[in-house]
Homo-oligomer: A and B are copies of this chain.
Amino acid sequence: MRRRAAYNLTMYAPLQNDTLLRALRRQPTEHTPIWLMRQAGRYLPEYRATRERAGSFMGLAMNRDYATEVTLQPLERYPLDAAILFSDILTVPDAMGLGLSFAAGEGPRFASPVRDEAAVRALEVPDMAKLQYVFDAVTSIRRALHGRVPLIGFSGSPWTLACYMVEGGGSDDYRLVKSMMYSRPDLMHRILAVTADAVAAYLNAQIEAGAQAVMIFDSWGGVLADGPFQTFSLAYTRKVLAGLKRDQDGEHIPRIVFTKGGGIWLEEIAASDTDAVGLDWTMDLGRARRLVGHKVALQGNLDPCVLFAAPEQIAAEARRVLDSFGPHPGHVFNLGHGISQFTPPESVTALVEAVRTHSRARCAAA
């Protein structure tokens, strides 16, 4: 209770732009809200400057003031409809004691990957105090936003975190984690159960610290076979969802589930207890909407590589995505994956402008 009291409602400015939250509730909006996965990132020179000052990626992610600064940077440039916590996807396994590091030019590495029975048995839900730097960042960002737009908190899904925990880093073929899954499903289930509890606690603490929506990134759900996806990925995403707070300070906290490569399982994902489903660019949004009806909002789904084209081509592709969804409430515009570090920042200007203009005209006509 001490934590909740420390972050009570009165300290935050009222929300001025609730377009995202309304779209997530499938309510009408004046325009289609837009934010971009990894919108605070390397494609922005101001991000690279802050990153330089921080000295390292983890130095950036673990420092409340830096995390606040970079989270707000894209909002200074573009009229986006949401902020998303700047943090790493691997904070939870790091707090479990796996020893996260980032070698220069390489991806993340765990010093102690979880590869045998002893390591699996030793896993525990970490003390959330070890992740206080994340919750402090959430509160700091929420304050700094002054109610401009809502703040989205996030976590990796249990399966996606387990991929990193077993592989010890990124992977091309997910051979180690899938070998464990097929050979020792009992161990895999234990990793996932502990991780799901940890993720639920982590997201609840973000909600208590000020997150106004939460997103679960199942970045590697799409590498699973049909069958194992439902058993080892979706079941544990559902376990997280079942453990999440529905409201904070009287406000509903919407949930978004994004499974990269999950279009094939859209109806099953939409049947989870989620407000919205994020889609990558392989799925036609109109077809997706026909499949799920009004049960959930949909978020997506422009190919990030469109942002390497000219402004008029970006605008045309953005209109194509908006038109494929059609004139219904419940669409949050986004990319189908994180923005590329090579994206020209002015491409984002063109995209946001196109989405705003075209969707406003459509909403007015509807």
Contacts and interface: CB of A to CB of B under 8 A. Distances in A.
Contacts of A182: 303, 305-306, 308-309, 313, 317
A284 B268 CA distance: 13
Interface string A303-318: 1111011100100010
Copies of this chain, count: 2
A282 B261 contact: yes
Contacts of A287: 226
Contacts of A263: 264
A228 B308 contact: no
A110 interface: no
Interface residues of A, number: 38
A315 to B, nearest CB: 12
A284 to B, nearest CB: 4
Interface string A335-362: 0100010100000000000000000000
Contacts of A105: none
A308 B178 CA distance: 8
A282 B225 contact: yes
Interface centre among A283, A305, A313 (most CB of B within 10 A): A305
Given A173-B304, A227-B320, 17 more contacts: A173-B340, A182-B303, A182-B306, A182-B308, A182-B313, A183-B308, A222-B282, A224-B281, A224-B282, A224-B303, A225-B281, A225-B302, A227-B284, A228-B303, A229-B282, A263-B264, A264-B282
Interface of A: 173-175, 178-179, 181-183, 222, 224-229, 261, 263-264, 281-284, 287, 301-306, 308-310, 313, 317, 320, 336, 340, 342
